[in-house]
């Protein structure tokens, strides 16, 4: 039986910026987001060892942005300290840092071409928040003909319930198996395998 070619992944780390971890802002996401730093750092180290590209995509809003005309308060403003990547996630020179104007890392950026130029076939999406920028990025990855995996242990929502409910919708959606939910360890196991079945069923 002919084996499928192995995927070439890229790790997309979404909105891990200082504003979202500022305890003085009392954001509900902060406690849950702190818990994904350690597994994300471990995964990042492995991606670097493998030579797989890493992308940091962060909000870079303007104070008068349309999205702030609703309930959302101004945050992660372009050029501010709050829009910088947190110190706990070291960014290397070879990593790409995208300042994104909206939720998806693909919106009005050249990320799709940057990934394709590096032979990427699969986007592993991590960061915050699960039902907004993480999900928007994963869905847009499909729109640009990349497979996508939402990493359940490397993403966070405003609450555990919101996080889990979002993931449950996409565990076996109509987009499966192009869009999957998996842990970082499941992802690495499947990437190391050339089994024709691809990601393990139920992952």
- Give the pLDDT score at 141: 98
pTM for this entry = 0.91
- Give the pLDDT score at 108: 95
- Give the pLDDT score at 3: 54
Helix (H) or strand (E) holding 176: none
Domain borders along the chain are: 9-191
3-state helix, strand, coil in the chain (%, to 5): 35, 20, 40
Interior angle at CA 125, CA 27 and CA 55, nearest 5: 95
- Give the pLDDT score at 23: 83
pLDDT by residue for the chain (203 residues), tens only, comes to 445 568 999 999 999 999 999 988 767 777 889 999 999 999 999 999 999 999 999 999 998 999 898 888 888 899 999 999 999 998 999 999 999 999 999 999 999 999 999 999 999 999 999 999 999 999 999 999 999 999 999 999 999 999 999 999 999 899 999 999 999 999 999 998 744 444 443 33
- Contact (CB, 8 A) for 148 and 179: yes
- Give the pLDDT score at 197: 42
Q: What would be the CATH architecture of the domain defined by 9-191?
A: 3-Layer(aba) Sandwich (3.40)
- Contact (CB, 8 A) for 8 and 121: yes
- Give the pLDDT score at 198: 47
- 115: three-class secondary structure by DSSP: helix
- 137: three-class secondary structure by DSSP: helix
Burial tier of 139 (Cβ tally within 10 Å: 0-12, 13-18, 19+): middle
Tell me the backbone φ, ψ of residue 162, rounded to 5 degrees.
-60, -45
What does the alpha-carbon distance between residue 137 and residue 62 come to, in Å, rounded to a whole number?
20
- Strands (E) across 24-111 are located at 54-59, 96-100
What does the alpha-carbon distance between residue 177 and residue 163 come to, in Å, rounded to a whole number?
20
CA 184 to chain centre: 12
Closest CA to 127 of 200, 29, 45, 50: 29
């Amino acid at each position: 039986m002919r084996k499928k070619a192995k995927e070439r992944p890229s790790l997309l780390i979404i909105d891990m910026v200082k504003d979202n971890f500022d305890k003085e802002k009392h954001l509900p996401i902060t406690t849950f987001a702190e818990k994904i730093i350690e597994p994300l750092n471990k995964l990042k180290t492995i991606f670097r060892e493998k030579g797989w590209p890493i992308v940091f995509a962060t909000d870079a809003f303007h104070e008068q942005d349309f999205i702030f005309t609703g309930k959302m308060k101004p945050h992660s403003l372009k050029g501010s300290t709050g829009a910088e990547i947190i110190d706990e996630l070291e960014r290397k020179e070879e990593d790409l840092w995208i300042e994104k104007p909206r939720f998806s890392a693909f919106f009005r950026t050249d990320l799709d071409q940057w990934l394709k130029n590096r032979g990427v076939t699969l986007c592993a999406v991590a960061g915050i928040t699960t039902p907004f920028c993480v999900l928007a990025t994963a869905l847009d990855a499909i729109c640009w003909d990349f497979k996508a995996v939402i990493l359940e242990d490397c993403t966070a929502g405003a609450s555990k319930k919101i996080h889990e409910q979002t993931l449950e919708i996409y565990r076996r959606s109509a987009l499966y198996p192009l869009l999957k939910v998996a842990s970082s360890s499941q992802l690495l196991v499947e990437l190391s395998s050339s089994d024709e079945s691809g990601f393990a069923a139920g992952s």
